[in-house]
Copies of this chain bind each other. A is one copy, B any other.
Amino acid sequence: MTIGKYKVEATDGTARAGTLSTAHGEIQTPIFMPVGTKATVKAMSSHELEDIGSQVILGNTYHLHLRPGEELIQEMGGLHKFMSWNKPILTDSGGFQVFSLSSLNKLTEEGVTFNSHLDGSKLFISPEKSMEIQMALGSDIIMAFDECLKYPATDKQIEDSIALTYRWLKRCKERMNRPESLLFGIVQGGLSLKYRMQSLEQICSVDLPGYALGGFSIGEPPEMMHELLPEVAPKMPKDKPRYLMGVGTPKDIIIAIDSGIDMFDCVMPTRNARNGTLFTWSGKVSIKRLQYAKDPRPLDENCACYTCKNYSRSYLRHLFMSDEILGARLNTYHNLFFYLDITRKAREAIKNGTWNDFRDQCLTQFSKKDSDS
Taking Cβ atoms with an 8 Å cutoff, the residues of A that contact B are 38-40, 42-47, 67-68, 72, 75-77, 82-84, 293-294, 296, 306, 310-312, 314-315, 318-319, 321-322, 324-326, 328-330
Residue of B nearest to A333 (CB): B45
- The reply to whether A77 and B38 form a contact with Cβ atoms under 8 Å apart is no
| Number of chain copies forming the complex | 2
- The reply to whether A315 and B72 form a contact with Cβ atoms under 8 Å apart is no
- The reply to whether A67 and B321 form a contact with Cβ atoms under 8 Å apart is yes
- A319 to B44: give the CA distance in the assembly, Å: 12
Residue of B nearest to A330 (CB): B45
Chain A's interface: helix, strand, loop or mixed, by majority? loop
- The reply to whether B38 and A324 form a contact with Cβ atoms under 8 Å apart is yes
Q: Which 10 A-B pairs have the closest CB atoms?
A: A43-B325, A84-B310, A40-B326, A68-B318, A38-B322, A40-B324, A76-B314, A82-B315, A76-B296, A84-B311
Contacts of A293 in B (CB 8 A): 68, 72
Residue of B nearest to A68 (CB): B318
A39-B315, A39-B318, A318-B39 given; A75·B325 CB < 8 A: no
- The reply to whether B45 and A326 form a contact with Cβ atoms under 8 Å apart is yes
Which of the residues B44, B314, B324, B325 comes within 8 Å of A82, measured between beta carbons?
Answer: B314
Which of the residues B38, B84, B296, B329 comes within 8 Å of A329, measured between beta carbons?
Answer: B329
How many whole Å from A260's CB to the nearest CB in chain B? 35
How many whole Å from A97's CB to the nearest CB in chain B? 15
Contacts of A314 in B (CB 8 A): 68, 72, 76, 82
- A306 to B46: give the CA distance in the assembly, Å: 11
Residue of B nearest to A42 (CB): B325
Contacts of A38 in B (CB 8 A): 318, 322, 324
- The reply to whether A76 and B312 form a contact with Cβ atoms under 8 Å apart is yes
Residue of B nearest to A327 (CB): B40
How many whole Å from A330's CB to the nearest CB in chain B? 8
- A82 to B296: give the CA distance in the assembly, Å: 9
26 pairs of residues in contact across A and B, judged by CB atoms under 8 Å: A38-B318, A38-B322, A40-B319, A40-B322, A40-B324, A40-B326, A42-B324, A43-B326, A43-B329, A46-B310, A47-B306, A47-B310, A67-B318, A67-B321, A68-B293, A68-B318, A72-B294, A76-B296, A76-B312, A76-B314, A76-B315, A82-B312, A82-B318, A83-B315, A84-B310, A325-B329
